């Protein structure tokens, strides 16, 4: 397993299912060490086992990214384990659809807490490490990928 991402470290939030899980596997296939973040530890552990079984490198970090301190601690755990962060994929999110009249306002608050605040907490905590990684010459770039939705726009 050797490619353009060899030596890099990626964080994928919301990696316990769906797009995040698939993204984590693909990044690992391309040589990145991957930290997978979500709340469901059993699913993260299964993913880490699958990535390692395919020859990749991964760790599971359980965190609710809507909680600022948990988001910060998750980033810290990744840096302590892998020593750097080159790529942050802000994927964790909810889509609780409904009409404005019928929508439960608490559902809006949950979506804002994860989709917006969680993304900002993760980005704020990871940014100094991403900038340091961009400077150190490995690829001379770091990446933040935000998974969005036309529903959000």
Ligand X SMILES: NC(=O)c1ccc[n+]([C@@H]2O[C@H](COP(=O)([O-])OP(=O)(O)OC[C@H]3O[C@@H](n4cnc5c(N)ncnc54)[C@H](OP(=O)(O)O)[C@@H]3O)[C@@H](O)[C@H]2O)c1
Residue 2 vs 151, nearer CB to ligand X = 151
Position among 40, 81, 124, 135 found at the interface with ligand X (CB under 6 A): 40
Q: What are the distances in angstroms from CA 148 to CA 4, 92, 140?
A: 25, 10, 26
* Residue numbers 103-132 binding ligand X by CB under 6 A: 114, 118
Q: At residue 94, what are phi and psi to the nearest 5 degrees?
A: -125, 150
**11 in contact with ligand X (CB under 6 A):** no
Pair 51, 23: CB distance under 8 Å: no
Distance in Å, CB of 21 to ligand X, minimum: 7
Distance in Å, CB of 83 to ligand X, minimum: 23
**92 in contact with ligand X (CB under 6 A):** yes
Number of amino acids touching ligand X (CB under 6 A) = 23
Distance CA 39, CA 137 (A): 34
**84 in contact with ligand X (CB under 6 A):** no
Distance in Å, CB of 19 to ligand X, minimum: 4
Residues near ligand X (CB under 6 A):
13-20, 38-40, 64-66, 91-95, 114, 118, 147, 149
């Amino acid at each position: 397993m050797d490619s353009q991402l060899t030596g890099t470290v990626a964080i994928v939030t919301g990696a316990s299912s769906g797009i995040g899980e698939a993204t984590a596997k693909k990044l690992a296939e391309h040589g990145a060490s991957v930290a997978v973040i979500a709340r469901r530890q059993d699913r993260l552990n299964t993913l880490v086992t699958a990535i390692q079984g395919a020859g990749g490198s991964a760790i599971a970090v359980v965190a609710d990214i809507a909680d600022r301190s948990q988001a910060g601690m998750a980033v810290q755990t990744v840096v302590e384990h892998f020593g750097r962060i080159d790529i942050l994929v802000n994927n964790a999110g909810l889509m609780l659809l409904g009409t404005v009249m019928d929508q439960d306002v608490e559902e809006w608050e949950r979506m804002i807490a994860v989709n917006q605040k969680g993304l900002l907490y993760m980005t704020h905590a990871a940014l100094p490490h991403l900038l340091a990684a961009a400077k150190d010459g490995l690829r001379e770039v770091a990446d933040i990928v935000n998974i969005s939705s036309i529903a959000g726009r």
